[in-house]
Structure 1
Amino acid sequence: MTAPLAARLLDRVSDAGVMYHRLVLTVGPAGSGKTEAFTDLAAAHGWPCINVNLKLAERLLDLTQKQRAVRVAGLLDDIVKATSAEVVLLDNIEMLFAVELAQDPLRLLQGLSRNRTIVASWPGTFDGRVLAYAEPGHREFKKYSTPQAVIVNAHEPRPLDVFGFSEKTL
């Protein structure tokens, strides 16, 4: 399952290169093959694969709660810039949804994708129109209608395109 997902992601990376936000979101729950696909792409193309939870936690550890919320976006930008790569894979992004950090994860990823292509693992759902993280009522629940990103659903046989329209409807 991961080889087809990695191939689909590779196809979509070039599509994202012409967009304002060069952002590809790989959407699916834990165990859907996102990490394996990222590992395959990193090995095949030399793209850095960053475990966001790990790298960000290391940098936030010595900061106060208030400092964390203020500095998280800049710290993540520094982590990505340190790679100096044109394509960066971001895996394990759950920390970005922490209520204590007071971030808008999609906006944060879009900001990172202005100067390079970002392929991020989104642990949630996409129904063709609405991108979501967590369930309604959960304190970290987020939903976005028509997200400005190329969406690849880990469970779909074909990728979903910008604003969530599948290729067959375009």
Structure 2
Amino acid sequence: MLEEVFQMNQVEELVKVVAEAQTDKGNVVIVTGKPGSGKSKVLREAAESQKWTYVDCRMLISEEFLAIPAADRGLYAPDMFADILASYNADVIILDRLQTLFVPVFHINTDSLMRKLSKKFTIVTAWPGYIDNGNLCYDKFDGTEAIRISPDGFKIWNVEG
């Protein structure tokens, strides 16, 4: 029971953060937290309670996208993904499993992608990595550095779990 109340308070907090982001240009909310802290659960519950569109990033990787030569995918991804998201007719898009887009063969610059998508939608996503020296970080499975993104222009909200 206490966990449900705590979770609901976090959903309410996230809703407020998203409302603030919607008044800004470049409206991206990055949800951070330790592994297992409930980032995805809060996103799903907020999507349900607010009727926001919840999209698993794996759904963005279409056959059409994969047919593009690998080196050109990063160029076409923002427009292709924006078209897919526009079909939902939603202002707020929850992007879960963001790490799907980190696969090197996709050649997607996730930072640039989110910034471009945020011109059309409010993007809310769970960051699957950690924060180090003020940057959003995600490492490859072998522990080597993979992605470092400056959070400038993004709203960062941390799940307490």
Normalised TM-score (structure 1): 0.77
Given the alignment of the two structures, is residue 155 of structure 1 paired with residue 160 of structure 2, yes or no? yes
Q: Which has the higher contact order (CA 8 A, sep 6+)?
A: 2
TM-align CA RMSD = 2.5
Tell me, what secondary structure is at the counterpart of 2:123?
Answer: strand
Given the alignment of the two structures, is residue 82 of structure 1 paired with residue 87 of structure 2, yes or no? yes
Give distance in 2, aligned partners of 1:109 and 1:91.
Answer: 13
Equivalent position of 1:138 in the other structure: 144
Give distance in 2, aligned partners of 1:128 and 1:8.
Answer: 25
Consecutive unaligned residues in structure 1, runs of 5 or more: 157-170
Given the alignment of the two structures, is residue 120 of structure 1 paired with residue 102 of structure 2, yes or no? no
Give distance in 2, aligned partners of 1:4 and 1:59.
Answer: 40
In the TM superposition, what is the alpha-carbon distance from 1:95 to its structure 2 partner?
2.1
Which letter maps to 2:122?
Answer: T
Work out which of the residue numbers 8, 13, 16 in structure 2 matches 1:11.
16
Given the alignment of the two structures, is residue 97 of structure 1 paired with residue 121 of structure 2, yes or no? no
Tell me, what secondary structure is at the counterpart of 1:155?
Answer: coil
Change beyond 3 A, Cα 1:61–1:101: closer
Work out which of the residue numbers 41, 53, 62 in structure 1 matches 2:58.
53
Tell me, what secondary structure is at the counterpart of 1:50?
Answer: strand
Give distance in 1, aligned partners of 2:148 and 2:70.
Answer: 25
Q: Contact 2:82 / 2:117 at 8 angstroms: preserved in 1?
A: yes
Give distance in 1, aligned partners of 2:157 and 2:17.
Answer: 8
Q: Percent identity?
A: 25
In the TM superposition, what is the alpha-carbon distance from 1:41 to its structure 2 partner?
1.4
Given the alignment of the two structures, is residue 24 of structure 1 paired with residue 29 of structure 2, yes or no? yes
Structure 1's consecutive aligned runs of 4 or more residues displaced over 6 angstroms after TM superposition are: none
Which letter maps to 1:51?
Answer: D
Equivalent position of 1:110 in the other structure: 115
Matches within 5 A, 1:23-42: 23-42=28-47
Tell me, what secondary structure is at the counterpart of 1:20?
Answer: coil
Normalised TM-score (structure 2): 0.81
Give distance in 1, aligned partners of 2:95 and 2:134.
Answer: 23
Give distance in 2, aligned partners of 1:57 and 1:94.
Answer: 16
Aligned pair count reads 155
